[in-house]
Amino acid sequence: MTIARRELILGGQRSGKSRRAEGCAAEWLARSAAHGAVLIATAMPHDDEMRERIARHQVDRAQRVPGLATVEEPIALGPALARLSTPHTLVVIDCLTLWLTNLLMPVEPAPHGTAASLERVQASLLRALRDARGPVVLVANEIGLGVIPMGGEVRAFVDALGRLNQEVAAVCERVTLMAAGLPLSLKEPE
Protein backbone atom coordinates (compact mmCIF):
# COMPACT_ATOMS: atom_id res chain seq x y z
CA MET A 1 0.00 0.00 0.00
CA THR A 2 1.38 3.39 -0.98
CA ILE A 3 0.93 6.12 1.61
CA ALA A 4 -0.72 9.23 0.17
CA ARG A 5 0.03 12.62 1.68
CA ARG A 6 -3.66 12.93 2.55
CA GLU A 7 -6.22 10.11 2.28
CA LEU A 8 -9.92 10.07 3.07
CA ILE A 9 -11.35 6.61 3.74
CA LEU A 10 -15.14 6.44 3.43
CA GLY A 11 -17.55 3.58 3.98
CA GLY A 12 -20.46 2.24 5.95
CA GLN A 13 -20.37 0.89 9.46
CA ARG A 14 -18.06 -2.14 9.76
CA SER A 15 -16.86 -1.72 6.18
CA GLY A 16 -13.15 -1.88 7.06
CA LYS A 17 -12.44 1.87 7.19
CA SER A 18 -10.56 1.88 10.49
CA ARG A 19 -8.69 -1.32 9.65
CA ARG A 20 -7.43 0.27 6.41
CA ALA A 21 -6.35 3.41 8.29
CA GLU A 22 -4.51 1.24 10.82
CA GLY A 23 -2.86 -0.57 7.90
CA CYS A 24 -1.57 2.76 6.60
CA ALA A 25 -0.15 3.54 10.05
CA ALA A 26 1.47 0.09 10.35
CA GLU A 27 3.08 0.43 6.92
CA TRP A 28 4.32 3.95 7.72
CA LEU A 29 5.86 2.76 11.00
CA ALA A 30 7.53 -0.22 9.28
CA ARG A 31 9.25 2.01 6.73
CA SER A 32 11.60 3.74 9.18
CA ALA A 33 12.52 3.71 12.85
CA ALA A 34 12.29 7.53 12.66
CA HIS A 35 8.57 7.37 11.78
CA GLY A 36 5.80 7.85 14.31
CA ALA A 37 2.04 7.48 14.07
CA VAL A 38 -0.77 8.92 16.17
CA LEU A 39 -4.51 8.37 16.06
CA ILE A 40 -6.81 11.24 16.98
CA ALA A 41 -9.92 9.56 18.38
CA THR A 42 -13.10 11.65 18.27
CA ALA A 43 -15.51 9.31 20.10
CA MET A 44 -17.01 10.43 23.39
CA PRO A 45 -18.02 7.79 25.98
CA HIS A 46 -21.57 8.93 26.73
CA ASP A 47 -22.98 5.56 27.79
CA ASP A 48 -21.88 2.11 28.90
CA GLU A 49 -22.07 0.59 25.43
CA MET A 50 -19.88 3.34 23.96
CA ARG A 51 -17.38 3.05 26.83
CA GLU A 52 -17.11 -0.70 26.16
CA ARG A 53 -16.78 -0.11 22.42
CA ILE A 54 -13.99 2.44 22.93
CA ALA A 55 -12.14 0.13 25.34
CA ARG A 56 -12.43 -2.79 22.87
CA HIS A 57 -11.12 -0.60 20.01
CA GLN A 58 -8.17 0.52 22.16
CA VAL A 59 -7.18 -3.07 22.99
CA ASP A 60 -7.62 -4.30 19.42
CA ARG A 61 -5.72 -1.33 17.96
CA ALA A 62 -2.82 -1.80 20.40
CA GLN A 63 -2.51 -5.43 19.28
CA ARG A 64 -2.71 -4.67 15.55
CA VAL A 65 -0.50 -1.54 15.52
CA PRO A 66 1.57 -1.43 18.73
CA GLY A 67 3.41 1.77 17.76
CA LEU A 68 0.24 3.80 17.15
CA ALA A 69 -0.23 6.38 19.89
CA THR A 70 -3.75 7.67 20.66
CA VAL A 71 -4.92 11.18 21.49
CA GLU A 72 -8.57 11.81 22.31
CA GLU A 73 -10.00 15.01 20.83
CA PRO A 74 -13.76 15.15 20.28
CA ILE A 75 -14.07 18.85 19.34
CA ALA A 76 -10.84 20.80 18.54
CA LEU A 77 -9.74 18.61 15.64
CA GLY A 78 -8.02 21.31 13.56
CA PRO A 79 -5.74 22.48 16.38
CA ALA A 80 -4.97 18.86 17.35
CA LEU A 81 -3.95 18.00 13.77
CA ALA A 82 -1.82 21.14 13.51
CA ARG A 83 -0.10 20.30 16.81
CA LEU A 84 0.55 16.61 16.05
CA SER A 85 1.53 16.75 12.37
CA THR A 86 5.25 16.48 11.69
CA PRO A 87 7.17 15.34 8.59
CA HIS A 88 7.86 11.96 10.24
CA THR A 89 4.45 11.43 11.88
CA LEU A 90 1.42 9.92 10.17
CA VAL A 91 -1.81 11.17 11.75
CA VAL A 92 -4.99 9.09 11.61
CA ILE A 93 -8.28 10.86 12.38
CA ASP A 94 -11.01 8.40 13.33
CA CYS A 95 -13.63 9.56 12.71
CA LEU A 96 -15.08 12.69 11.11
CA THR A 97 -18.64 11.38 11.52
CA LEU A 98 -18.41 11.19 15.31
CA TRP A 99 -16.65 14.56 15.37
CA LEU A 100 -19.51 16.15 13.44
CA THR A 101 -22.00 14.42 15.75
CA ASN A 102 -20.20 15.93 18.75
CA LEU A 103 -20.53 19.38 17.17
CA LEU A 104 -24.09 19.21 15.86
CA MET A 105 -25.76 16.94 18.40
CA PRO A 106 -23.94 17.43 21.70
CA VAL A 107 -25.21 15.39 24.63
CA GLU A 108 -25.01 18.56 26.71
CA PRO A 109 -25.84 21.90 25.05
CA ALA A 110 -22.71 23.81 24.12
CA PRO A 111 -21.98 27.06 22.27
CA HIS A 112 -19.99 25.23 19.57
CA GLY A 113 -23.18 23.80 18.07
CA THR A 114 -24.15 26.90 16.08
CA ALA A 115 -23.91 26.98 12.29
CA ALA A 116 -21.48 29.91 12.31
CA SER A 117 -19.08 28.23 14.68
CA LEU A 118 -19.44 24.94 12.76
CA GLU A 119 -18.16 26.74 9.67
CA ARG A 120 -15.20 28.12 11.67
CA VAL A 121 -14.36 24.72 13.16
CA GLN A 122 -14.57 23.00 9.77
CA ALA A 123 -12.43 25.73 8.20
CA SER A 124 -9.86 25.18 10.96
CA LEU A 125 -9.76 21.45 10.18
CA LEU A 126 -9.42 22.02 6.42
CA ARG A 127 -6.64 24.57 6.99
CA ALA A 128 -4.76 22.15 9.27
CA LEU A 129 -5.23 19.38 6.70
CA ARG A 130 -3.85 21.53 3.87
CA ASP A 131 -0.92 22.64 6.07
CA ALA A 132 -0.13 19.20 7.53
CA ARG A 133 3.60 18.53 7.42
CA GLY A 134 3.25 14.74 7.28
CA PRO A 135 0.74 12.22 5.97
CA VAL A 136 -2.86 12.30 7.24
CA VAL A 137 -5.46 9.54 6.97
CA LEU A 138 -9.06 10.52 7.74
CA VAL A 139 -11.94 8.11 8.34
CA ALA A 140 -15.59 9.03 7.75
CA ASN A 141 -18.88 7.27 7.24
CA GLU A 142 -20.65 7.48 3.90
CA ILE A 143 -24.26 7.65 5.06
CA GLY A 144 -25.91 9.32 2.08
CA LEU A 145 -26.48 6.15 0.04
CA GLY A 146 -29.71 5.06 1.71
CA VAL A 147 -33.23 6.37 2.03
CA ILE A 148 -33.90 9.99 2.96
CA PRO A 149 -34.33 10.20 6.75
CA MET A 150 -37.75 11.18 8.09
CA GLY A 151 -36.64 13.78 10.64
CA GLY A 152 -35.39 17.25 9.78
CA GLU A 153 -32.50 17.11 12.26
CA VAL A 154 -31.25 13.82 10.80
CA ARG A 155 -31.58 15.13 7.22
CA ALA A 156 -29.58 18.21 8.24
CA PHE A 157 -26.87 15.96 9.71
CA VAL A 158 -26.70 13.78 6.56
CA ASP A 159 -26.40 16.97 4.48
CA ALA A 160 -23.68 18.40 6.75
CA LEU A 161 -21.67 15.17 6.65
CA GLY A 162 -22.00 14.99 2.87
CA ARG A 163 -20.69 18.55 2.54
CA LEU A 164 -17.83 17.86 5.00
CA ASN A 165 -16.84 14.67 3.15
CA GLN A 166 -16.81 16.56 -0.17
CA GLU A 167 -14.65 19.37 1.25
CA VAL A 168 -12.18 16.93 2.81
CA ALA A 169 -12.10 14.81 -0.38
CA ALA A 170 -11.22 17.91 -2.40
CA VAL A 171 -8.13 18.46 -0.22
CA CYS A 172 -7.04 14.80 -0.21
CA GLU A 173 -4.88 13.26 -2.92
CA ARG A 174 -6.46 9.84 -2.36
CA VAL A 175 -10.07 8.94 -1.57
CA THR A 176 -10.98 5.30 -0.90
CA LEU A 177 -14.43 3.79 -0.47
CA MET A 178 -14.54 0.64 1.67
CA ALA A 179 -17.19 -2.07 1.28
CA ALA A 180 -17.02 -5.54 2.87
CA GLY A 181 -13.39 -4.92 3.81
CA LEU A 182 -12.42 -4.20 0.19
CA PRO A 183 -11.06 -0.85 -1.03
CA LEU A 184 -12.42 0.90 -4.09
CA SER A 185 -10.29 3.81 -5.29
CA LEU A 186 -12.30 6.96 -5.97
CA LYS A 187 -9.34 9.31 -6.37
CA GLU A 188 -5.61 8.65 -6.71
CA PRO A 189 -2.57 10.95 -6.52
CA GLU A 190 -1.68 12.40 -9.91
pLDDT digits (tens, 9 = 90+) for 120-166: 999 999 999 999 999 999 999 999 887 777 888 888 999 999 999 99
For residues 75-90, average pLDDT: 97
**Cα–Cα distance, 37 to 123 (Å, whole number):** 24
Q: How far is CA 172 from CA 22, 107, 131, 132, in A?
A: 18, 31, 12, 11
The answer, yes or no, to whether residue 54 has pLDDT greater than 80, is yes
Judge if the upstream peptide bond of residue 95 is cis by omega within 30 degrees of 0.
Answer: yes
For 36-47, write each residue's pLDDT tens digit: 999 999 988 888
DSSP letters along 46-90, please?
A: -SHHHHHHHHHHHHHHHHH-TTEEEEE-SS-HHHHHHHH-BTTEE
Q: How many percent of the chain have pLDDT more than 90?
A: 69
The domain made up of 6-187 is a member of CATH 3.40.50.720: no
The answer, yes or no, to whether residue 22 has pLDDT greater than 70, is yes
The answer, yes or no, to whether residue 49 has pLDDT greater than 70, is yes
- Respond yes or no: is residue 35 known to be catalytic: no
Rg of the chain, C-alpha, whole Å? 16
Report the pLDDT value the prediction gives residue 113, as an integer from 0 to 100. 46
Given 35, 46, 57, 112, which residue is catalytic? Answer: 57
Using left for φ > 0, alpha for ψ between -120 and 50, and beta otherwise, residue 181 falls in left
